Amino acid sequence: MLPHIPFNKPAIVGRELYYISQALHQGHSAGDGSFSRRCQRSLEHALGAPKVLLTTSCTDALEMAAVLLDIAPGDEVIVPSFTFVSTVNAFVLRGATPVFVDIRPDTLNMDERKVERLVTARTKAIVPVHYGGVGCEMESIGQIAARRGIAIVEDNAHGLFSQYRGRYLGTFGTFAAQSFHETKNFTCGEGGALVVNDERYVQRAEIIREKGTDRSRFFRGEVDKYTWVDIGSSHLPSDILAAFLCAQLEARESIQSRRREIWERYYDDLGQWASSFDVRLPVVPDHCEQSFHLFYLLMPSAESRQRLIRHLKDRGIQSVFHYLPLHLSPMGQRCGGSRAQCPVTESVSDTLLRLPFYYDMTEHDQMRVVEAVKAFRLQ
Ligand SMILES: Cc1ncc(COP(=O)(O)O)c(C=O)c1O
């Protein structure tokens, strides 16, 4: 029996335990210690963003963005249905109605050509998700948002350090949300960050993240006591997690170059097989520099996708599907979603299969996956 090849293994790059022990010995294991500040500064510097605040998840960062935009009952947000539940739930929690937009058949990103017709006087935000870290068409989405006076919140869970037309993803919206969940390129187990690109929101973002208090200002010596000034919650991660993340961010080059190798090997080795059997590989437009977050196959049918998952499982290889359409979920339907509303999403959700992809995947294991896929008979 061959050893099992999992779908994901979180990267461990070297200094995580050393930094975690430093955080413990420094005697500051709560949030906003020296490692949190290091991570935030490094992300601000790398992205050129005015403010980055670590959070306990991307979900938290999205929820903070919804509070910061004063999302309230009656507001609408334009969201893809092909996404993780948090992209939408964060806004529904504040009482907003999600308006689902379909995705493009090539990049599987929000179809910018279908956005404007969904805008109404109640539209408060557009939430592009950069699927697999390939940028949405931010030029068009940005123009629509500017013309109609709507905010953009980027869900950039997959796309840290990706670029669209030479500019980092996460810097286009008023806010962007990052994820450091164990399935992401950079991880600390569970974690995230809110990128604040409009300085006017920085102070309120700090307050919302600190349970509605001005504690951050107090720690900077700007006020002599801190108190309850707004709504908020506890969104900041422990400095132990920030220490873990710090080690990962410092290994940016090694993580990204390793992931690039894996992604390119899949793409090169499966290209011919895919075109002979009408299987689609990921599309990355020339003006997008991706993060090499995931590798998927779009199979010709739902039946062949399920059969390939079983075929790989029989050979000790775990592969998974991605995103059931939110507009067809029980909650999505209660929010007004209905069948055929997003036909591309429905078809992609039935046919997409993600192959194992992780930082320390050996070439040997990857070739086992490639050979197993090629041995699959479509007819
Ligand atoms: C597009 C997208 N947004 C948000 C999230 C939620 O991230 P987190 O687990 O950090 O809250 C995920 C999780 O995988 C995701 O894929």
Q: Are 127 and 153 in contact (CB under 8 A)?
A: yes
Query: Euclidean distance between the first and final Cα of the chain, in Å?
Result: 27
Closest C-alpha to 209, from 84, 96, 40, 47: 40
Residue-level pLDDT at 354: 98
pLDDT tens profile 194-204: 999 999 999 99
Closest C-alpha to 181, from 168, 191, 169: 191
CA 22 → CA 54, 83, 189, 241, 376, distances in Å? 19, 37, 18, 12, 49
Assess whether pLDDT exceeds 80 at residue 52. Answer: yes
Q: Are 126 and 88 in contact (CB under 8 A)?
A: no
Assess whether pLDDT exceeds 80 at residue 355. Answer: yes
Query: Is this structure's pTM higher than 0.85?
Result: yes
Closest C-alpha to 123, from 67, 60, 66, 77: 77
Assess whether pLDDT exceeds 80 at residue 134. Answer: yes
Beta-bridge partner residues of 80? 101
Closest C-alpha to 297, from 183, 379, 374: 374
pLDDT tens profile 180-222: 999 999 999 999 999 999 999 999 999 999 999 999 999 999 9
Assess whether pLDDT exceeds 90 at residue 3. Answer: no
Average pLDDT, rounded, for the chain: 97
Calculate ∠ Cα 123-127-130, nearest 5°.
155
Ligand 1 atom with the shortest distance to the CA of 323:
16
Banded pLDDT at 1 (limits 50, 70, 90): confident
Assess whether pLDDT exceeds 80 at residue 14. Answer: yes
Residue-level pLDDT at 135: 98
Residue-level pLDDT at 378: 83
Closest C-alpha to 210, from 191, 237, 192: 237
Residue closest via CA to ligand 1's atom 12 equals 84
Residue closest via CA to ligand 1's atom 16 equals 84
Task: Round to whole Å and give the CA distance between 35 and 65.
Answer: 23
Assess whether pLDDT exceeds 90 at residue 264. Answer: yes
Count CB atoms within 10 A of the CB of residue 258: 19
Beta-bridge partner residues of 77? 98, 125
Assess whether pLDDT exceeds 80 at residue 379. Answer: no
Task: Spell out the SS3 assignment of 170-233.
Answer: CCCCCEEEEECCCCCCCCCCCCEEEEECCHHHHHHHHHHHECCECHHHHHCCCCCCCCECCCCC
Assess whether pLDDT exceeds 90 at residue 367. Answer: yes
Instruction: State if residue 129 touches ligand 1 by the CB under 6 angstroms criterion.
Output: yes
Instruction: State if residue 192 touches ligand 1 by the CB under 6 angstroms criterion.
Output: yes
Residue from 56, 93, 179 to probe ligand 1 pocket by mutation (most atoms less than 8 Å from CB): 179
Count CB atoms within 10 A of the CB of residue 236: 23
As a whole-number percent, the residues of the chain with pLDDT over 90 amount to 98
Residue from 64, 91, 181 to probe ligand 1 pocket by mutation (most atoms less than 8 Å from CB): 181
- Neighbouring residues of 95: CB distance < 8 A, sequence distance ≥ 6: 71, 72, 73, 74, 75
Task: Round to whole Å and give the CA distance between 99 and 257.
Answer: 37
pLDDT tens profile 102-111: 999 999 999 9
Q: Give mean pLDDT, residues 164-175.
A: 98
Instruction: State if residue 83 touches ligand 1 by the CB under 6 angstroms criterion.
Output: yes
Residue-level pLDDT at 86: 98
- CA–centroid distance, residue 190 to ligand 1 (Å): 10
